[in-house]
Structure 1
């Protein structure tokens, strides 16, 4: 029932310490008790990980509510879910959310593509099934221990949970995640030309210079969206020293009041940038960013001035708050919709893949065996990460296709040469 109205939803609360914690709320706004204890052990997880797990837990409770399943009553009898119920839950976990529906509708409007089945991809589906199995196991074992079940029922619950894991996780192998599209060289030129301030193809009526610097930073560095949004003014190296950006881990950062705080996903590090990007960032900070405060003062927006002065994040919205993740997505969605040469699913991750493609092509001969180590440092991956080969896969595939085409051309040339020799 992909169109069913959910009974439960997720609310991320923020403590005074800056820590975020997920609550599963019913329609009456009252939080469920069990998920609070479940997430207590996960409080150190990143915001997006907690949010993703909480949404799965909400979907599990929606399913139990919809089917009238009393999990406590089931466990008392040594049961958990029936086979058909587990299969139905597996299908339910594949349903896409309203935001994904909107993104797909926009893509279809641009590409005239055939509407896709309203389910998530194999990779996301696999994540959801594992998280659902983990929560049901934790919850069932907690109920089992609270009830003090005898040995026979305890063993029955253990057996039922093993069957549930097999149905939800083991038998449902994850499909290979398709490679997200990177930009070709021609598309990169189109993008850089379109985002120039005052360019006739620039689709932004305001904040043109901010968006130009933001996209230039994504294109040149290949950093993650959260890493760019987490940059503060002091993270840009001062003038007169080698231009760099410092990526700092700031867990539970009180000054980051965004609904989805920008967090460093992996390794803190310092990445070199070109003098051009450094100059653009410095000019934006010293000129355009400062003008936001003056504009808010002229408008008499005291709350906006307070918001602006409460943080030091480089990229700022028009009302003084740090630029949000959804604001960045809107910028990329606008480019994807308005610039015909760009892919409809244009995203910051597409520029991360573009960076890796360019790095692979330009560094193979110059860096030799150091290529992987340097890529791991710049991308923030741990030593020996498989991500390096994964991101280079698109270049490898293209080079393999070029080799095959060259082999075919050589074969045809030799065939023609042989025919000519036979004629003479």
Structure 2
């Protein structure tokens, strides 16, 4: 039976809270091969739902393109004929297109996204082809040619897409950081947020400034806050597949569960939000989450979503003087790591001491070198000082001669 296209993905929520990207055909029935692949090959990777959905969206595009080209995927794979060069070219072109084009956006996705889509489709084809190859007798003279054809598929389909890594991304400079901290302060003239949410947003942004990833504060519950301790901190959990989470895109933490220490004044601001402002959100007592949306359903309050946080970033970029166009979650997180570097230098810690503490505070493995990618501004400034010192020494040496 040929399943009618177009294929599309829908979110399936299991009783355990797990989100599954279900591929459905045009008749709204589940599509056999994509769902079998997602269940066996993708789900076991324990990846986030958004990543799973991205993989399966690419596979849906592949199926839909093949249907337009009158390609019977099952027949091509069973015969091990696979795909011709002109067909590969069309599949590549379609996978480069944005599925939703917003005003001002390019019609094409970025190189990294395109390569990820092509890789997802390549892996899917290989997964479906491998069992067919296994059925070919080792005595069959076609076997060597078939294996060669499959081995060449990544080169033909994915190709050599150059994905440039931006090694110049840094944390905020001093002026930007001042503008940021003022803009998140309630009642400040540059604060772009609705007064209703300014205290909530300040508490949220101070946690980002303390080094938390974008999703981390959205997973926090009351038991993760330790604000009245002599050394206040929040405990960032590693939450996955929370059955109580009603959000379509569940926030998930990539790092290990870890504590993040707070200064007493910042802990006081967050505590003030919890005591004085959070209870004003509709149904707050019914929710375990720290950060709530001002929108509520008829049955329960809604926790703040990743989409809402992304909108906050857009507001800061668009409305606050001094906030650059590239301002985003990682810029705030990099600023935190720059401050850690500067503080470690001031305390005269050894590199090993700094590495261990930064990794613990960030949820990274003990010997991780990730911090070096986040401390580019601090390291660049130290490099500048070293270069100037060396030049001064060289100049002085010539004068002495």
Normalising by the smaller structure, the TM-score range is 0.7 to 0.9
Alignment equivalent of 2:291, drawn from 312, 315, 318: 315
Question: For 2:383, what is the secondary structure of its paired residue?
Answer: helix
Q: Deviations over 1:300-335 (max 9, x none)?
A: xxxxx3xx4553110000122000000000111111
Q: Distance in 2 between matches of 1:380 and 1:397?
A: 24
Q: Distance in 2 between matches of 1:200 and 1:395?
A: 30
C-alpha change, 1:263 and 1:156, in structure 2 (3 Å) is same
Q: Distance in 1 between matches of 2:115 and 2:271?
A: 43
Name the residue aligned to 1:298: none
Question: For 1:80, what is the secondary structure of its paired residue?
Answer: coil
CA contact (8 A) 1:17 1:252 kept: yes
C-alpha change, 1:228 and 1:403, in structure 2 (3 Å) is same
Alignment equivalent of 1:271, drawn from 242, 254, 260: 260
Name the residue aligned to 1:302: none
C-alpha change, 1:60 and 1:356, in structure 2 (3 Å) is farther
Name the residue aligned to 1:37: 36
Q: How many residues align?
A: 384
| Cα displacement (A) at 1:356 | 1.6
C-alpha change, 1:413 and 1:69, in structure 2 (3 Å) is farther
Q: Distance in 1 between matches of 2:375 and 2:106?
A: 30
Please, what TM-score do these two structures have when normalized by structure 1? 0.80
- 1:195 paired to 2:197: no
Question: For 2:11, what is the secondary structure of its paired residue?
Answer: strand
| Cα displacement (A) at 1:233 | 1.2
CA contact (8 A) 1:137 1:161 kept: yes
Q: Distance in 2 between matches of 1:338 and 1:171?
A: 40
CA contact (8 A) 2:260 2:361 kept: yes
Q: Distance in 1 between matches of 2:237 and 2:287?
A: 15
Name the residue aligned to 2:201: 211
Question: For 2:9, what is the secondary structure of its paired residue?
Answer: strand
Please, what TM-score do these two structures have when normalized by structure 2? 0.85
| Cα displacement (A) at 1:134 | 1.0
Q: Deviations over 1:183-219 (max 9, x none)?
A: 1111111111112111111111231111111111111
Name the residue aligned to 1:136: 125
Q: Distance in 2 between matches of 1:382 and 1:125?
A: 30
- 1:380 paired to 2:360: no
Unaligned runs of 5+ in 2: none
Q: Distance in 2 between matches of 1:407 and 1:121?
A: 41
C-alpha change, 1:291 and 1:80, in structure 2 (3 Å) is same
Alignment equivalent of 1:49, drawn from 43, 48, 51: 51
C-alpha change, 1:120 and 1:197, in structure 2 (3 Å) is same
Question: For 2:302, what is the secondary structure of its paired residue?
Answer: coil
Q: Deviations over 1:238-285 (max 9, x none)?
A: 524421111222322111111111222121112211112221222211
Alignment equivalent of 2:375, drawn from 389, 392, 397: 392
CA contact (8 A) 2:171 2:376 kept: no
Q: Distance in 2 between matches of 1:123 and 1:251?
A: 26
Alignment equivalent of 2:171, drawn from 161, 182, 191: 182
Name the residue aligned to 1:109: none
Deviates more, 1:395-404 or 1:189-198: 395-404
Q: Deviations over 1:150-198 (max 9, x none)?
A: 5455554432221012234564454324554531111111111112111
CA contact (8 A) 2:279 2:285 kept: no
- 1:71 paired to 2:47: no
Question: For 1:267, what is the secondary structure of its paired residue?
Answer: coil
C-alpha change, 1:169 and 1:406, in structure 2 (3 Å) is farther
CA contact (8 A) 1:182 1:350 kept: yes
Name the residue aligned to 1:347: 328
Equivalent residues in 2 for 1:143-162 (5 A)? Answer: 148=135, 151-152=140-141, 155-162=144-151
Q: Distance in 1 between matches of 2:246 and 2:168?
A: 33
